[in-house]
Amino acid sequence: MKQPSILALIPARGGSKGILRKNVRMIAGRPLIAYAIGHALKSSLIGRVIVSTDDEEIAAAARAAGAEVPFMRPAEFAQDLSPDLDVFRHALQWLRDKEGYTPEMVVHLRPTGPVRRIELIDEAISRLQSAPQADALRSVSVPSLTPYKMWRIENGLLKPLVTVPGVKEPHSMPRQMLPEVYWQNGYVDIVRAKTVLDKNSMTGDTILPFIVTDRIYELDYEESIPEVEEVLKKLARGELVSLKQDHRHAV
């Protein structure tokens, strides 16, 4: 059952760089932003769907796809380096002050991820609901590369990016012997409103992991568009059997 206390917030600013005007770019016949909105509307738990944008064209496309756009995001929170926290705090403060509405939790759905399974969104929400001690939930995946074999360059010399306590050279060890790590994939993140408003944080202190084994499709660059469009068309035709990630080649 849809719950008014669960809000989906979809941030979509107008000044995208990798793909110009990407949030209103037509992808497999629909504006990109329409996919994230559709995911939220199809959820059995999300009670409200709001888009935060500074752009009138994006706002119109969002409304046409079924989302609310009750406010326009101030330009100061729509810059290239604007953090998520500013966007979420502005939205929650506006809703509290103008409507007297404060949700219990906010589901963060990025428009750049048009391929999602609705059941995973609902599973993530239920996971956080069942853990009242947690401030937030973040979706993660097993990465194809381990950071223990990564380097940085300092004063012209290689230095390990990360180290393992008690292990002299983790970069030269088999991957299977190194600590297991996870990549924050942006598939679905959830934060309690009080974490944003009271702790001034997008995660707080206690963060639940939500492990996603599906392949993550992100639209940040032009060259990604054909593959994502093909996947979306196959999903629409019911031809895609599995979205599972293949990690056999991870090193």
Kindly report the three-state secondary structure assignment for every residue of the chain. Answer: CCEEEEEEEEECCCCCCCCCCHHHCEECCEEHHHHHHHHHHHCCCEEEEEEECCCHHHHHHHHHCCCECCCCCCHHHCCCCCCHHHHHHHHHHHHHHHHCCCCCEEEECCCCCCCCCHHHHHHHHHHHHCCCCCCEEEEEECCCCCHHHCEEEECCEEEECCCECCECCHHHCCHHHCCCCCEEEEEEEEEEHHHHHHHCCCCCCCEEEEECCECCCCCCCHHHHHHHHHHHHHHHHCCCCCCECCCCCCC
> Within 10 A of 173 (CB to CB), how many other CB atoms are there?
15
| Residues whose CB is less than 8 angstroms from the CB of residue 169 and which lie 6 or more positions away in sequence, other chains included | none
User: Is the whole model's pTM more than 0.85, yes or no?
Assistant: yes
Residue 71: band (very low, low, confident or very high) from pLDDT cuts 50, 70, 90? very high
Domains of the chain and any CATH numbers: 3-143+182-237 (3.90.550.10), 147-177 (no CATH)
* Res 81: pLDDT: 82
Distance, CA of 67 to CA of 127 (rounded, Å): 25
Percentage with pLDDT > 70 across the chain: 96
What integer pLDDT is reported at residue 197 of this predicted model?
98
The CA distances from residue 151 to 113, 146, 167, 183, 223, in Å, are 29, 11, 16, 17, 27
| pLDDT per position as a tens digit, 152-177 | 999 999 999 999 998 889 999 998 89
CB 208 within 8 A of CB 137: yes
Has residue 151 got a pLDDT over 90?
yes
What are the pLDDT digits (tens) for 177-199? 999 999 999 999 999 999 999 99
Q: What is the mean pLDDT of the chain?
A: 93
Six-digit token string for 195: 């974490």
Please say if the pLDDT value at position 3 is more than 70.
Answer: yes
Predicted confidence (pLDDT) per residue in 102-128, tens digit: 999 999 999 999 999 999 999 999 999
Q: Is the pLDDT of residue 4 over 90?
A: yes
pLDDT grade for 246, boundaries at 50, 70 and 90: low
Residue 249 has pLDDT above 70, yes or no: no
Q: What pLDDT does 248 receive?
A: 42
pLDDT-derived band of residue 87, with 50, 70 and 90 as boundaries?
very high
Report the pLDDT value the prediction gives residue 240, as an integer from 0 to 100.
63
pLDDT above 70: residue 247: no
pLDDT in tens, 205-215: 999 999 999 99
Is the model's pLDDT at 17 over the cut of 80?
A: no
Mean pLDDT over 54-65 rounds to 98
Q: CA triplet 180, 186, 187: central angle to 5 degrees?
A: 95
pLDDT band at 45 (very low <50, low <70, confident <90, very high): very high
Share of the chain above pLDDT 90, in %: 83
